[in-house]
Amino acid sequence: MTLTDQHLASYAAQSTTSRGRLFIEPASSSRSEFQRDRDRIIHCSAFRRLEYKTQVFVNHEGDLFRTRLTHSLEVAQIGRSIARNLHLNEDLVEAIALAHDLGHTPFGHAGQDALNACMHPYGGFEHNLQSLRIVDKLEERYAAFDGLNLCFETREGILKHCSLKNAESMGDVGQRFIHKTQPGLEAQLTNLADEIAYNNHDIDDGLRSGLITEKQLLQVEIFARHRAEVESVYPGLSGRRAISETIRRMINTLITDLIKTSAALIQKYGPKSVDDVRNMPKMIAFSDSQYQEAKVLKQFLHQYLYRHYQVNRVMSKARRIIHELFDAFMAEPNLLPPDYQVLSASDEQQKCLQQARKIADYIAGMTDRYAVREHRRLFSIDEN
């Protein structure tokens, strides 16, 4: 057992008993297997591109809004705090958190929906599957194998969602969707850390942008309660400080509730190993009351921020860019960089399927500003 494993619960993922990598490699003398995974993710090209991929706002709209990169760092920070309190593997949580959005398209969920529509005749597009495809196949950093050759447990956590049809072709990480078992607690935890991060930080970005107001948010119980608490402690405080204090308290409440509820569920079911965890109900969860409050907040953000007419206008342009890029590349694959052109296949149908997937890889890998620039190169007579 490594030093990093000594404080872990028996049901936590242990780096020394990992299910291993697709390609066997000698162990490191200075890092655990999950630390190596984290380091490989941080140094990969797809991770760097997250800096210029949007959360809600397109990248050029402002320097202070969250990007996929800052969001991933926030998820990792929240996840590690929770893992530490539950005696779970912090390094594994961090690796999953940093990799969970690698497969996202430019322009957020609008871009993903558009690319999925384009790919509908060719097997569809899921950003979770694309994240796994990146770490398993698309990254080119090692001489001995494609991808990053991550541990099973990290790959399992990256694949949060998967259709049954796709699961059947996913090998080991797809089995839990077929047999309806659970992933390890670290994967469960990171999924909810993601939710805590984007709900609360989208409030911050929404207020900063002016698309939602504090008056509107006071209709939401979890915000109103914590805003009143700030006013009680700091009478008359307003502006950025008041908002930051409120959001900070909301995040703390959600984390505290998640730790308390999850600890109680773990004690109730009494897992002794990771295998026990996989065959038990989910044990990382909010209390019923906190879940309902978070649900109301999420509904508010969908109604007033994500579907705001100004966001809709930008995302309508984004969808058009994705569709037009895809159609242009499918009609004329020679417009693509050579690495993304399929030159030969067993038959025309296979060539078409392979070409479509290559185009999806190319578009999904674009940053917001690169997609805009590529669109101009193809459709503007003044660009080259």
Spacing of C-alpha 20 from chain mean position:
23
Q: Which residue has the tokens 């309190």?
A: 85
> Between 162 and 362, where is the model more confident?
362
- The overall average pLDDT reported for the chain is 92
Q: Which domains does the chain have, with CATH numbers?
A: 3-9+29-309 (1.10.3210.10), 314-379 (no CATH)
For residue 383, what pLDDT is reported?
A: 63
Q: Are 322 and 359 in contact (CB under 8 A)?
A: no
Residue 261 has pLDDT above 90, yes or no: yes
The partner residues of 333 in beta bridges, in order of sequence, read none
Question: For the chain, what percent of residues have pLDDT higher than 90?
Answer: 79
What average pLDDT does the segment 37-60 reach? 85
**Three-state SS letters, the chain:** CCHHHCCCCCCCCCHHHCCCECCCCCCCCCCCHHHHHHHHHHCCHHHHHHHHCECCCCHHHCCCCCEHHHHHHHHHHHHHHHHHHHCCCHHHHHHHHHHCCCCCCCCHHHHHHHHHHHCHHHCCCCHHHHHHHHHHHHCCCCCCCCCCCCEHHHHHHHCCCCCHHHHCCCHHHHHHHHHCCCCCHHHHHHHHHHHHHHHHHHHHHHHHHCCCCHHHHCCCHHHHHHHHHHHHHCCCCCHHHHHHHHHHHHHHHHHHHHHHHHHHHHHHHCCCCHHHHHCCCCCCCCCHHHHHHHHHHHHHHHHHHHCCHHHHHHHHHHHHHHHHHHHHHHHCHHHCCHHHCCCCCCCHHHHHHHHHHHHHHHHHCCCHHHHHHHHHHHHCCCCC
Residue 62 has pLDDT above 60, yes or no: no
The span from the CA of 114 to the CA of 125, in Å, is 9
The span from the CA of 79 to the CA of 71, in Å, is 12
Taking only the tens place, the pLDDT of each residue in 304-330 is 998 889 888 888 999 999 999 999 999
What average pLDDT does the segment 324-348 reach? 93
pTM of the model: 0.94
Residue 356 has pLDDT above 50, yes or no: yes
Residues making up the chain, counted from first to last: 384
For residue 381, what pLDDT is reported?
A: 79
In angstroms, the Cα distances linking 332 to 284, 336, 340, 353 are 48, 8, 12, 15
Span between the terminal Cα atoms of the chain, in Å:
57
What average pLDDT does the segment 154-182 reach? 91
The span from the CA of 326 to the CA of 367, in Å, is 15
